[in-house]
Structure 1
Amino acid sequence: MALPTLVAVPMLLGVLDSAVLGMLTPVMAWVPTVILFGLHRLNRRDESFLNVAAIKPVRPVRPIIVTSLFVIVALCVLPVLTEALAVLFGLKSVAVSSDAWALLPAIPLFVLAYAVLAAGEEFAWRGYIQTLLAPWGYWRSSAAIGAFWSLWHIPFSIGYVVSGDMLVRDLVSTSVNLFLAAFVLSGVRYLSASVWPAVVGHSLFNTVLVFVYSNFTTTIGSSADMTFWAYTGMSWLVWLVLIAITAQAVRRRTQVTP
């Protein structure tokens, strides 16, 4: 928490604008893994960092592929279902952007590009820390990691609020979204015994979800508070359904240690 807060302070003081913070995002994405690697070298040199972080082994490959396909399908269906329900209940209207279909073929490339940034966070959260918290079980470890993951982003979000690029309600909704998403990412780590499906899932958040939310319906950002929170609450219910499905899959797995 101290490091993201330190980075965000100049923005809070008005010394830097949000564009600079955006440029620092790729660097900050890898900070958790770099910190944990340094601590690992100091305290657990007899163990492989790659193994503890579940970066390897990548065999058997079948669970990794199957779980990656699960998270891909789930996180493609989730935003489509959310937006369909929003239109059905009158919270949004259909509004296909002029660039939507032109951008669609490039989405896989964006997913691959963002996976590089996602790996920097996931090697730490769903990789190394998930291994350390394995004795806590799926629910407790997911909640702990989700809470800290959400808190990690708050200093940056506050910076965007101060600069006028984000509303307080967006900060709250984004923080809860991260917390809920953590249960899905931790779940695919449990199901595959590998961090790689979590990397795929994290990359999809920044690509597929953003693409669907911003290209096929009206934006919710300028809506009245009641509409905003109705939409946000509905989206959380969709997340809870996905979490329930993921948790059920984890429960059925005979070996649930990451």
Structure 2
Amino acid sequence: MSDSETTTTVPGPAGAGAVRAAEHQRAKNSERGPVLPTAVPWRAVIVFLVIALGGAWLVELPVWLSGEGLASPWFGPLTLAMMFTPTIAALVVVFWVHRAPSVPRWLGLWPLRPAGRTWLFIALGAVGFTVIPFAALLLGDAMGLIRLDLSGVSGVAAALAASGGQGADAATVVTITLLMLPIVTLVNCGATFGEELGWRGWLLPALRPLGTWAALLASGVIWGVWHAPVVLLGYNYGRTDVLGVLCMVVFCVLVGTVIGWLRLRSASVWPAVIAHAALNTAGSQFLIFVDASDLPADPWGSMLGWPGWILFAVIIVLLAVTGQFRKQPQPGLTLAESRA
């Protein structure tokens, strides 16, 4: 038997015509954003977690059994496949465990109205999350955690020399890499959609009745723990112990709070998808500015470490003090009704 979502009725003046008008206005308002549940569907949450977390370990199992770790030829393809376990979990719960009145609105897929607001937050996510990884590098350099070479890009020159690319110009390679960032970000949206439809599309709204901050914190912790199958192989932090997972949890709570704000504020999952893609794209290219003498670079000098943690914490504080976390649909209401 599926969980059911309580629908909040909007009282109107007496009279059949007035009632029909109120219902029509409510239907029109409902297109402005997803209706959040009035209570956490705990059974659906548990099923979601079992599928998403268990699925991640199941997908990466061949890598663990190979004994090759990150060097396994299966690591890349299976890690890409792992990114779709949250979406599989979300689809299972919305269609077979907890069917929402409108699945597209719950997941933030549709409608994209008001279009201006949606596109504004998509642009904000794309630009902001492209800039943050590079800003974290500058902060890391200022903190003495990493050494950059912005003029000579010696790290790229050394990589070209090691690969036999004698005729290639390091500055040209860097320029092309930067120009390609928007295109690569759009390509990466396919993979980040696999995560975001689960984390911010379904799980965050499901936990929203706990309160905004509790939902953001809980979903961020879960997102961080989900990375354990790859983090424990030495991915991201170069550690194969629980400390690496704890570091990833901190990172995911901070990043997830900002991405979650985009999701709640826009009432759409698409800004979260593109923000996540931009972060992955720019974050994977940070080595182009690292000095050759500082390679391999310490992740603690990048967005994964203190510089990134500090920047995201500052952004969260700014959003909080300006009241941005309050501008979102309330449980049982649409965004338009929440503002009324």
Q: TM-score, normalised by structure 2?
A: 0.66
Task: Give the corresponding residue for 1:150.
Answer: 224
> Which protein has the bigger helix share?
1
Matched, 1:61 2:133: no
Q: CA deviation at 1:147?
A: 0.6
Instruction: Map 1:125-204 onto structure 2 (within 5 A).
Output: 125-160=199-234, 166-168=238-240, 172-204=246-278
Q: CA deviation at 1:170?
A: 5.5
Task: Give the corresponding residue for 1:21.
Answer: 75
Q: 2:182 aligned to 93, 98, 108, which one?
A: 108
* Aligned 8 A contact 2:86 2:194 in 1: yes
SS across alignment from 1:56: coil
How many residues are matched?
A: 252
Q: 2:102 aligned to 26, 34, 48, which one?
A: 48
* Aligned 8 A contact 2:86 2:195 in 1: yes
Task: String of CA shifts for 1:81-106, please: whole Å, max 9, x gaps.
Answer: 22222222333222323231121121
Matched letter for residue 227 of structure 2? H
Matched, 1:242 2:337: no
Distance of 1:201 and 1:183 partners within structure 2: 12
Q: 1:249 to 1:200 in 2, by over 3 A?
A: farther
Q: CA deviation at 1:129?
A: 1.4
Task: String of CA shifts for 1:177-207, please: whole Å, max 9, x gaps.
Answer: 2221100110001110111100011101110
Matched, 1:5 2:79: no
Q: 1:171 to 1:45 in 2, by over 3 A?
A: closer
Q: CA deviation at 1:254?
A: 6.5
Greater relative contact order (Cα < 8 A, sep 6+): 1
Provide the alpha-carbon RMSD of the alignment: 2.9
Q: TM-score, normalised by structure 1?
A: 0.84
Task: String of CA shifts for 1:9-40, please: whole Å, max 9, x gaps.
Answer: 34334356533021112322222112221222
Q: CA deviation at 1:252?
A: 5.2
SS across alignment from 1:186: helix
- Show structure 2 runs of 5+ residues with no match: 1-52, 157-169, 336-340
Task: Give the corresponding residue for 2:282.
Answer: 208
Q: What is the percent sequence identity of the aligned residues?
A: 25
Distance of 1:228 and 1:77 partners within structure 2: 16
Matched letter for residue 53 of structure 1? L
Q: 1:222 to 1:108 in 2, by over 3 A?
A: closer
- Show structure 1 runs of 5+ residues with no match: none
* Aligned 8 A contact 1:190 1:250 in 2: no
* Aligned 8 A contact 1:92 1:220 in 2: no
SS across alignment from 1:159: coil
Moved more, 74-83 or 178-187: 74-83
Matched letter for residue 55 of structure 1? L
Matched letter for residue 192 of structure 2? A
